[in-house]
Amino acid sequence: MDVHELARNLKQQIGRVVFGQEEVVESLLVALLSEGHVLLEGPPGTAKTLLARTFAASLGLGFNRIQFTPDLLPSDLIGTNLFNFQTNSFTLTRGPIFTEFLLADEINRTPPKTQAALLQAMQERTVTLDGTHHALSDGFLVVATQNPIEHEGTYPLPEAQLDRFLLKIDVPFPAREEECRVVEVHGHRTAMPRLDDMELAVIADLDALRRIRDEVRQLKLSREMVEYVVDLVRATREHPEVLHGASPRAANMLATAARSLAALRGRAFVIPDDVKELFLPALRHRIVLAVGAEVEEQTADGVLRGILDTVAAPR
């Protein structure tokens, strides 16, 4: 199986369950090939959870979901060591983070201490319990969701946490015809559709993903494209309406994501359009606007579009 077959089959599978979110599906594919994590932001009822469950099921990945709440503790996420009186030793009770696909629902509903418990896992794919390191699967992927509407009782993610996400994706409402399809297929129930009833096929396994990821890493990124990525990221640090610009890590992640998108588009090399398409989702959560820009109701996306217009792309 190559990257094109994977993408085609996965989109076909997901399209049987989730309608009208093709761009979000492609963004998840980019993250999957790039070994990056995704933050989904959108109003309730736009199939964020269903999309994540379907995505994991179609790839045969171990799946866990955790609902982030104000009283959630780091041990609820990672696990704990419990003393076993029969063996006279401590036994690790693994938390939901020990999986391959972790859905972190409403991540901004939990305090910073619990949010921070994800940091090491997302970056290093290991967790530490009582001084002992425990490796996570090399297929470990976090898809976190947050609701942009209700801000009461929320804990905004700090910059260090946001920087661990490869992409921040805005999940829109579906178009009218797609919403009609949702009602036709799922309008006979109030609960979330059962994936067992959809008879989804597993189209790949972790070994296949490893081989495809190795192929994507070999894609060519010319010197001109490297300079374009770096110039775009550096421009965020020099923009008068940006208080804190993106870090060199952002440039690395943007380049990695561009390679994955090029592979999905059937090319063995990256072109400027790949970088332009990913610039907003890869950078919108990595810049902090100046106070004056917020007063003038400027947005991160607006600033980033302006940078795209001013930084010359290679020809």
Domain end position, chosen among 139, 169, 203: 203
- Do 199 and 264 fall within a single domain? no
Query: Does 214 reside within a domain?
Result: no
Which helix H or strand E contains 90, and what residues bound it? strand 89-94
- Do 95 and 166 fall within a single domain? yes
Query: Does 301 reside within a domain?
Result: yes
Q: Is residue 25 within 8 Å of 52, Cβ to Cβ?
A: no
- Do 190 and 305 fall within a single domain? no
> Tens of pLDDT along the chain (315 residues)?
788 888 888 888 888 888 888 889 999 999 999 999 999 998 888 888 889 999 999 888 899 999 999 999 989 999 988 877 877 777 778 899 999 999 999 898 888 888 888 877 888 888 888 778 888 988 899 999 987 765 555 788 888 788 899 999 998 888 899 889 889 888 777 767 777 667 788 888 888 888 999 999 989 899 999 999 999 999 999 999 999 999 999 999 999 999 999 999 989 999 999 999 999 999 999 999 998 877 777 899 999 999 999 999 998
Q: Please give the tally of structural domains in the chain.
A: 2
Give the range of the structural domain holding residue 175, as residue numbers without chain letter.
3-203
Query: Does 211 reside within a domain?
Result: no
Which helix H or strand E contains 214, and what residues bound it? helix 206-217
Evaluate if pTM is beyond 0.95.
no
Domain of residue 304, CATH code: 1.10.8.80
- Do 177 and 237 fall within a single domain? no
- Do 37 and 148 fall within a single domain? yes
Q: Residues 165, 42, 67, 65: is their CA dihedral positive or negative?
A: negative
Among 286, 282, 284, 223, residue whose Cα is nearest residue 256:
282
